Structure 1
Amino acid sequence: MERLRQGLVLVIVGIVLYFLVREQGSGSGGVILALIGSAFMVFYALTNQSGYLVPGGLMTGLGIGIDWPHAWWPGFQGSTVLIGLGLGLLVVWVGSRRGEGHWALASGVVLLLVGALTGVGDIMAFLSLWWPVVVAAIGLWVILARSRKAS
């Protein structure tokens, strides 16, 4: 289970960095912050020392929030930092050991919700766009809950 968690952290880091560098170029401030955070995440995956996980998740999430590709969702410009930090905390929750990351899950969900609700004026437009992501998130939660009970 430990290798699976470490592998998931590295997969998340790789995907995030790919899209940040592809969308913004390698010289912007958010990408640099995400790179520093990703270095912390890689150290966590290599050493299994949880002290690297929290700064890695927060810095990577903040980098995402700063360099969010505004062309995709123009209405979110003022709340992307909250959404990015929420995503970073969810990465901390995924990478944390059993029973240690509940604070990150609760904080991440709250930041995501506040960021999403402040970035969207019309909640129905938001729901019509994002309901498939909500379905996928529920499915991921079911898989993770089942795998945690099995181990």
Structure 2
Amino acid sequence: MFDRILVPVDGSEHSRRALTTAATEFETDEIVALHVLDPFRVASTTEEAVWNSDYMDEREREAEELLAEYAELGREFDVPIRTELAKGSPARAIVGAVGDFDVDHVVVGSRGRSGIGRVLLGSVAENVARRAPVSVTIVREE
């Protein structure tokens, strides 16, 4: 049994699967669903980058809506879900959240890239697994 499980969420099917796995496969008192806004990932429309406070405000509103969806998903499994929003590099924010929220396990979704794709693009899940001070379960595509 884990007191608190951290599940990083981003709206993808991978993170939904991770939350479902955390809620159904592990005994826990609480799941912390964490969404990380990466201020270094700039959206672009055509060729021109958009970066201003309106853009970040809109992303925060979208993130809050997304977290509300995950909280609802947790209610379907009758598991207490706490939602949190962080800003920064995703892997660093997730590892930092382990201590911030006194988490004793992380369940993270992954696309399951391998080979050159993983090397070139990196993997948040892999970075978290290497750096987290607690056990990490990586839920991969089936």
Q: TM-score, normalised by structure 1?
A: 0.31
The structure with more strand, counted as a fraction of residues: 2
Higher relative contact order (CA 8 A, sep 6+): 2
Q: TM-score, normalised by structure 2?
A: 0.33
